[in-house]
Structure 1
Amino acid sequence: MLLTERETQEGLLVSVCDPDVLGETFESGEFSLTVEEEFYAEDAEEADEDAVVGALARAAVANIVGREAVDLAIENGFVDEATVLDLGETRHAQLLRM
């Protein structure tokens, strides 16, 4: 998975995506998502499951795209499956800690 961590005034922003969805656009009904290389891959590192879980544990905000990445977030309790968007061939979830 591709993992990016950015410090913001609101806390740590984490973006995670499966490499195979990078640059793709997915649609479902009124929703459309383009997995922008600038956001998900610029300064990203290839990360294993442990690194992604660690980053999500520290995140104030996270954007997660791809079946592997979203499923990992669900399995580890960061995201409720009921809040996940299924967009054609992929999945998208967001995490916001308040």
Structure 2
Amino acid sequence: MAGRMYVKVYRVQGEVLVAACDEELLGKTFREGELKLEVKERFYKGELMDVEELGRLLEEATIANLTGERVVRKAIELGYIDESRVLRIQGVPHAQMAKMLY
């Protein structure tokens, strides 16, 4: 089940940060108790592409910020995210990844 996602790649001081969210979540805010998840356009809105492209991007990423069912499920499928570490805010999955470089 493919779908589309917004992806923005940041390259700062040797780090490669990939911000990706399911297309329909862009610009929305989710709240649950003390938690707030803002899917900000200025952070996530880069290129609109197929979720199948995520693996190629995560391979290069040192840090990733992932939001939405399709994006997070794909990252779990590819082994980048541990399902037990996924945070859900108002039912929306959010996960972060950091690769430790030695």
- TM-score scaled to structure 2, two decimals? 0.88
Aligned counterparts of 1:16 and 1:69: Cα–Cα separation in 2: 7
Equivalent in 8, 21, 26 of residue 25 of structure 2 = 21
Q: Report if the CA contact (8 A) 2:69-2:93 is conserved.
A: yes
Which 5+ residue runs of structure 1 have no aligned equivalent?
A: none
User: Match for residue 81 of structure 2?
Assistant: 79
Percent identity at matched positions? 39
Shift of residue 29 of structure 1? 2.4
Equivalent in 1, 7, 12 of residue 11 of structure 2 = 7
Runs of 4+ that moved beyond 3 A: none
Aligned counterparts of 1:89 and 1:21: Cα–Cα separation in 2: 12
Q: CA RMSD in A?
A: 1.1
Give the number of equivalent residue pairs: 96
Which 5+ residue runs of structure 2 have no aligned equivalent?
A: none
- TM-score scaled to structure 1, two decimals? 0.91
Shift of residue 22 of structure 1? 0.7
